[in-house]
Structure 1
């Protein structure tokens, strides 16, 4: 996980992760400026779900866990210490990642619903 955490911090990841954070509100504003319809509400819902369920969970939950794991000297840890690190990290991180995954899928579904034309 430490190597994955370090590898993910790259321009492609930041562009998609933060780009969505910037573009979803813009899309919502543009859609509402043209019409208030079920589609515009879907886009607003996608924006809210992304902000809270993807970005919010990542920043409040996963990033602190990743930072704590990054500080651990796993190479020098005993088997018992490794088990403690894993117990403190794995279950919570997986639960948060499931929340983020579901939120991302809901975000995409709402955006598709908004784009295919609930007018």
Structure 2
């Protein structure tokens, strides 16, 4: 019974990491570049609209659920260290929680909040937008890599079981 539960958590986490890695990859490779090309006020308005909409979508249950299951898998792996796939399971869980969730909370969300508070047409917004495009995207690259590698580690743990 416990083995089935762990396997289910691994599958859910692998799929969740893969979905989020794809979303972050899209933002890192073309969405942010496109927003930067449409002009400051329009880019800020579009990003603010994305940030409002995303927290009201299916993104949030996947984001929070994958974080919870990844943390649980890391903890479970510590108690089942000698089992096949435990190292990959622990590494995937820790990497995802630190490299995706913690990075999001410490870096991306505060940048989103600052952008939401700015007047898109102001001079102050110009420097904020330039910094946002650079800093937010850099931290998004970190989230993309962490989510992708965690997905691969969870798949490796499934294969090892």
What's the TM-score once normalised by structure 2's chain length?
0.64
| Counterpart mapping for 1:34-113 below 5 A | 36-74=82-120, 77-78=121-122, 80-113=123-156
Return closer, same or farther for 1:73/1:111 CA change in 2, 3 Å cut-off.
same
Structure 2: distance between partners of 1:82 and 1:107: 35
Structure 1: distance between partners of 2:82 and 2:112: 41
Structure 2's unaligned 5+ residue stretches are: 1-46
Q: CA RMSD in A?
A: 2.0
Q: CA deviation at 1:28?
A: 4.0
Q: Is the 8 A contact 2:77 2:86 kept in 1?
A: yes
Return closer, same or farther for 1:84/1:30 CA change in 2, 3 Å cut-off.
closer
Structure 1's unaligned 5+ residue stretches are: none
Q: CA deviation at 1:26?
A: 2.9
Return closer, same or farther for 1:33/1:90 CA change in 2, 3 Å cut-off.
same
Structure 2: distance between partners of 1:62 and 1:90: 11
What's the TM-score once normalised by structure 1's chain length?
0.85
